[in-house]
Amino acid sequence: MKNIVLFGGGNIAQAVAEGLINANFKASNIFYIDRNLRNQKALKKLKIKNLTKYTSTKVDLFILAVKPKDAIDAYKQILNDFEDPKIVSFVAGIKSKKYLKFNQDIQFLRAMPNTSARFNLGITAIYNSSFSKNNLAKVSRLFKKIGIVMDLDNEAKIDTFTGMIGSGPAYFFYLLKSYEKKLMSLCNQDKKKVNAAMVNLIKGVGSSIENNNNLDKLIEAVASKKGTTEAGLKSFKSQKLNKIFEKGISSAIKRSKEISNEF
C-alpha cells in the first residue's frame, strides 16, 4: 500500500497519520480530502497533501474517516471519482452491506482504530467484507505499524470492540480524574508533577502486565494482609465496582448497536 488517502482528516485520521509517520511511513505517500479548514491546517503541518492537487497519483487505499452522517455521500464520491478503489471504513455504525449495495465488486472492509494509534499504541479491529486475501494482508500490515490488530470474524463484534476499546481510553481518563484531584493537593497544585505521576502510574501498570499477564497475581503483589490496598479493594468490592464498570461498558456496546440501526 504505497499511496493512501484519508477521506476525512479529523481526529482519528490525524491520529493514524501521526502513528504511521512515526513508524516511517512517508508523509509524502499520505493524502487527504477534507473540507474543514482547521483540519486542513493540521494535516498540512504533518506534511500531508491535499489529493485534488495530485490527481495523477495512483491511490492504493482510501480510508473513509468522516462522521456517520456524512459517510454514504463521501463513499459515493470516492466511487464516482476513482476507478476501482479499495476502501477501508473507520465509520462507526454503518454496516458493510450499506456500502456494498452500490457496487458488489468493490474491495471494502471496516476497521476500528483508537486514538492511541498516534503513539503507535493503537488497537485496530478489522472486519473484512470483500478484500482479497493479498490486499487484506497488506492492510493488516499497515495497521500493525500503529499498534496491534484484532481480526474479527463477525461484523457485530465491531460494536463490542467500539464500546470497549474505541471508547476505552476515555474510561481510564475518567477514573484518573479521581487521582488528579487528590494528587493536585498532594503536589501543591503542580500540574506538571501531577501529570508526570499519572503517566508513570499508567505506564507502570502497562509494563507490569507485559511482565506478568495474571491480573490476580499482580493484585496480590501489591496488596498485603490488613494493608492499605486491601482496604481499598475491599471497599471497591463491597460496592461492586466491577459490576458498575461492566454496566458502563455494556451501555457503550448497546449504544454502538443502536447507532448501527440508525443508519
Q: For binding to ligand NAP (CB under 6 A), which residues are involved?
A: 8-13, 33-36, 39, 65-68, 70, 73-74, 90-92, 112-115, 166
Of 194 and 252, which CB lies nearer to ligand NAP in the complex structure? 252
Nearest distance from C-beta of residue 242 to ligand NAP, angstroms: 25
Of 39 and 160, which CB lies nearer to ligand NAP in the complex structure? 39
State how far the Cα of 261 lies from the Cα of 257, in Å rounded to an integer. 7
State how far the Cα of 41 lies from the Cα of 48, in Å rounded to an integer. 10
Nearest distance from C-beta of residue 187 to ligand NAP, angstroms: 30
Of 144 and 193, which CB lies nearer to ligand NAP in the complex structure? 144
Of 11 and 239, which CB lies nearer to ligand NAP in the complex structure? 11
Cell (9 digits) for 139? 492492510
Q: Which long-range contacts (CB under 8 A, 24 or more apart) does 103-110 make?
A: 103/79, 104/130, 106/79, 106/130, 107/131, 107/132, 107/135, 109/136, 109/139, 110/155, 110/158
Strand-pairing partners, residue 63, are 6, 88
Nearest distance from C-beta of residue 73 to ligand NAP, angstroms: 6
| Residue with the shortest CB distance to ligand NAP | 10
Nearest distance from C-beta of residue 139 to ligand NAP, angstroms: 15
SS3 label, residue 108? strand
